[in-house]
Amino acid sequence: MFKKVLIANRGEVALRVLRTCRELGIETVAIHSEADSEAMHVKLADESVCIGPPPVSQSYLNIPSIITAATITNTDAIHPGYGFLSENARFAEIVEEHGYKFIGPKSEHIKLMGNKIKAKETMLASGVQSIPGINEIGSINQVKDFGKEYGYPLIIKAVNGGGGKGMRKIYDEKEIEDSISSAKKESLNAFGDDSVYLEKLLINPKHIEIQIIADQYGNVVHLGERDCSVQRNHQKLIEESPSVTLSKEEREQIGLTSVNAVRAIKYEGLGTLEFLYENNKFYFMEMNTRLQVEHPVTEMITNIDLVKEQIRIAAGDKMKMQQNEIEINGHAIECRINAENPKTFIPSPGMINRYHQPGGLGVRIESAVYEGYKIPSHYDSMIAKLITHGADREECISRMKRALEEYVIMGVDNTIQLHQDILKENNFVSGKYNINFMNDIR
């Protein structure tokens, strides 16, 4: 097992990794920008190193500074968390080149799955169906012919994209040229690559993802699915597991399909396969080669510490669990709490004047903020994840409503009220919602 792990991230995920390291007897190194000197993970880590000014390009994305921090603290391994450099294949390579263990998959798998076209082709070769589309757009007429064959709407996506950037919907032929042009421009600005591809746009799908764990010895298991359909601008707001939409047979089928695909490429570590689900069919979208923001949902229903498994696998341990030993118990829901105006979604950095977390049976908080903490303006606006667990979905929702009522965050705008409104919506309560849910209620 590692003796010391550097956590190359910030906020609640840095704190989450730190706590698991502490349980495993591993010393921790917290890196931080000048803006995060008072962050909770910095206060609780065994050592901390300031790596630069507040802008992420000069701190949390500054690979030389992170490697230097690892060197001066005699680190064994580096955990990237999620976001920032967690899916940067070159960062993983550099970490290994300097003699540290990257707590995540091999750089070749990060690179493979980071390219949406190659990921689709790889999964298709393993028997995983994807949405009909054009991987390499040669001409406008090619897109027009595709539209005539499959019908509109269509969608342009960035090959190396994510989070909704570099995406444009096309509703008729007249929009094709401008949509491709604007998608390529946004993709170039966001990812340094203007490569885009085309897909048929599904109208009312569910967003379903499968959590997998794989070790270097060929052992792979899945931990069920998460329904992430409550989204705004392709950013997830609420996740739950299990999905109320899937039958037992569908759950087993997509789980086994995901396991076989991951085993075929000899993947190692945590991973999540994301699908669109419509008319009883699954269509592969992408694979995230990292810990997911919504991982606590899976932990609550399986009682498996995903971060602990991730670290053990990176250290070379053989996975002890078998697929037939994994049990799904009850229901879990996660609400992402952002420091944003709940109506305009404008970020609201600033001082938290009063803070009180909910508690009680089946309630979990993942947050690194505290009363008197000043939320920086330089980073993502998510400040907490509220997770509840119940014997069934009804109890889980009731528990979440109670927890949201108890949650007090004053001094900054936040989205607690937004989540309270969502949980009252009939389509959410009944489970009859899809990725257009937020468009229908806002």
Residues marked as catalytic: 290
Read off the DSSP letter of residue 318. P
d(CA 369, CA 298): 23
Among 210, 214, 361, residue whose Cα is nearest residue 297: 210
At 105, phi and psi to the nearest 5? -70, 175
d(CA 134, CA 143): 8
Please answer whether residues 137 and 198 qualify as being in contact, where contact means their C-beta atoms are separated by less than 8 angstroms.
yes
Question: DSSP per residue over 394-422, as a string?
Answer: HHHHHHHHHHHHH-EEESS--SHHHHHHH
Q: To the nearest 10°, report the CA torsion of 368, 372, 376, 377.
A: 120
d(CA 269, CA 288): 11
Read off the DSSP letter of residue 159. T
Cα dihedral 74, 76, 82, 86 sign: positive
Take residue 43 and report the two structure tokens written for it: 């206060």
Cβ atoms < 10 Å from Cβ of 80: 26
